[in-house]
Amino acid sequence: MANSRESDPNLGYLTRKETEVKLPRPTRVKNKTPAAIQITAEQILREARERQEAEIRPPKQKITDATELGDYRLRKRKEYEDLIRRVRWNKSVWVKYAKWEESQKDFARARSVWERALEVDYRDHTLWLKYADFEMKNKFINHARNVWDRAVELLPRVDQLWYKYIHMEEMLGNVAGARQIFDRWMRWMPDQQGWLSYIKFELRYNEIERARAMFERFVDCHPKVSAWIRFAKFEMKNGEIARCRNCYERAVEKLGDDEEAEELFVAFAEFEEKCKETERARCIYKYALDHIPKGRAEEIYKKFVAFEKQYGDREGIEDAIVGKRRFEIEDVYERAIANVPPAQEKRYWQRYIYLWINYVLYEELDAQDVDRTRDVYNLCLKMIPHAKFSFAKIWLMAAQFEIRQLNIDRARRILGSAIGMAPKDKIFKKYIEIELQLGNIERCRKLYEKYLEWSPENCYAWSKYAELERSLAETERARALFELAIDQPALDMPELLWKLCAKFEASAMEEGMQDSDLHESDDEQKKKCLQRARAVFERALSYYRTSAPELKEERAMLLEEWLNMESSFGEVGDVDLVRVKLPKKLKKRRHIETEDGPAGYEEYVDYLFPEETQTTNLKILEAAYKWKKQKIVSSDDD
């Protein structure tokens, strides 16, 4: 209570009780039965209108002589001038001022007000329109022309000013003047409606040649399908069939790839149909269907099917229906391949690429459209981001397609692009196979060089290249290739390469026996053969001992190959030479490691080579010597 009595400085030193707002208590309706006399909303509104006070209007002032008129005008002008000084930017004040001066028939003053208003904002075209309308209404024609000239000079992009100016001259019968104004306007290259207005103007006065010349300028300024169709219809209306056809042909030449080309082709075909040129119309439809993208050709297919049903024979109707079905299938494929994977990662593209594969197979096998198949292959290869990943399958399919079309040069270009943009083993192998079948040995050599330049560790490529040279009886080339391969710092399958190199040396010596000197015996030739092969095996074993000691299984397999070779040479061969190098097979156990830790044991085969056995024996002897020494020392201490 004490707080409520104290004054608050925020409330003007009044107590809170003094500032409280007391609302009236709501009146309770005791009798809720309806009254005998009901009052409608209409009655309430009528009574409110009747009780409204009458509007106070200023008294009418009657001017009886020139002095009063002068005073009235002076007072009004002062009011307008004062108002303009306050709100000079308000255009409605200027308009009212000028119209008031016009009502006083003081045209010079009204003209002065309009000019002053234009000085405030000459870019407002409505002021120019009202100013010119004032001059025309009061029949000041030359003044109006002056206003229009200035307006179109300052605001040439406002079409309404040109239309009004031309309309005035035409109403005055000044056709030449209106034409000059149109020419001035056309130099600003207005929109289509401006050109069409000029053409209609010429047609109103039967100036066909002038209208034709304007159409030529029109289609140059606005090279659109709708403009060309209007031009052609103009010629058709005037009975100029040849000129009309020429218009359509020029339009197709210039706008055949435009987004609205479908409308142009339909109009062209319908024109030929009206001229009873059904073959021409059919050719136009077929040309359009071959050149317009599937997504925009739906309407033209409907027109073509309707045309064939009306004018075609049974075969033509069936072709049209089949073509429509083909169009629908291609449209589905187009919409499917338009859904490009969002990320450039191969795992997202692996399923997407099969849409393209099915599409090209459909075009080649079902539709039997060679050009379309080639286009789809090209689009697919352009779509794939080869810098990040590629698909050898697509490259090879495109090349094989060109080979089926007996176009070897195109196939070579495709495979060459594949090697340049996204080299892969499959592409090199297939390209070499194709050239080998064609007998182009030099091309095969160049491809093998590119293959090995791209993948120098590939033992398969080295072996195949050497095999090619050997098949051509180029023994020295093959030997040089094997030497280069063996000298590579890293190889993916070295044991394969060593075996092939050894076999090559053995077989090369056997082939060389046919051209050897006659005084050499067969045994001597076999010894030379065996010595070369043994040298290769020795180098291989040295490689495995020093560079790859962990590859024990491959080393054992190489020794088995050497043993088989020695036995194949019969008496000349020395099997015991290899048997002393053979390893012992040992079965061992090792832990199976998983993410959760050890999970049992597994057996594996290990190889113990003779030199490793000697090292192991030495280690055992050394350990026994240490044990004996420690035992002697301990007995002395006791």
pLDDT in tens, 360-392: 898 888 888 888 889 999 999 998 988 888 999
- What confidence tens digit (pLDDT) does each residue in 593-611 have? 777 666 677 776 666 666 6
Better-predicted residue by pLDDT, 400 or 487: 400
Long-range contacts: 394-397, Cβ < 8 Å, 24+?
394/353, 394/356, 394/357, 395/422, 395/427, 396/426, 396/427, 396/430, 397/357, 397/360
Give CA–CA dist 374/360, Å, rounded. 8
Query: How confident is the model at residue 570, as a pLDDT?
Result: 67
Average pLDDT, the chain: 82
- What confidence tens digit (pLDDT) does each residue in 86-98 have? 988 999 999 999 9
Q: Is residue 499 pLDDT above 80, yes or no? A: no
Residue 104's CB: how many other CB atoms inside 10 A? Answer: 15
Give CA–CA dist 515/187, Å, rounded. 93
Q: Dihedral sign, CA of 258, 259, 265, 271? A: negative
User: Do you know the residue count of the chain?
Assistant: 638
Query: How confident is the model at residue 387, as a pLDDT?
Result: 86
Better-predicted residue by pLDDT, 521 or 334: 334
Is there a contact between 235 and 247 (Cβ–Cβ < 8 Å)?
yes
Better-predicted residue by pLDDT, 550 or 427: 427
Query: How confident is the model at residue 142, as a pLDDT?
Result: 95
Closest to 428 (Cα-Cα) out of 465, 403, 401: 465
- Helix runs in 87-158, H state only: 91-103, 107-120, 125-137, 141-154
- What confidence tens digit (pLDDT) does each residue in 136-192 have? 999 999 999 999 999 999 999 999 999 999 999 999 999 999 999 999 999 999 999
Query: How confident is the model at residue 635, as a pLDDT?
Result: 61
Query: How confident is the model at residue 163, as a pLDDT?
Result: 96
Better-predicted residue by pLDDT, 36 or 275: 275
Q: Which span out of 47-61, 368-382, 474-488, 587-601 was modeled with the highest average pLDDT?
A: 368-382
Strand partners, 605: 587
Give CA–CA dist 469/485, Å, rounded. 14
* Least confident segment among 435-449, 557-571, 607-621: 607-621
Give CA–CA dist 154/147, Å, rounded. 11
- What confidence tens digit (pLDDT) does each residue in 538-564 have? 776 666 666 666 666 676 677 777 777
Give CA–CA dist 143/124, Å, rounded. 19
| Per-residue pLDDT band at 328 (split at 50, 70, 90) | low
Give CA–CA dist 620/625, Å, rounded. 9
Better-predicted residue by pLDDT, 106 or 588: 106
| Per-residue pLDDT band at 512 (split at 50, 70, 90) | very low
59: left (phi over 0), alpha (psi -120 to 50) or beta: beta
Q: Which helix or strand (DSSP H or E) is residue 601 part of?
A: strand 597-608
Better-predicted residue by pLDDT, 60 or 87: 87
Query: How confident is the model at residue 368, as a pLDDT?
Result: 81
Is there a contact between 561 and 499 (Cβ–Cβ < 8 Å)?
yes
| Per-residue pLDDT band at 40 (split at 50, 70, 90) | confident
* Least confident segment among 99-103, 205-209, 514-518: 514-518
Please name the amino acid found at residue 576: D
| Per-residue pLDDT band at 514 (split at 50, 70, 90) | very low
Pairing between strand 584-594 and 597-608? antiparallel
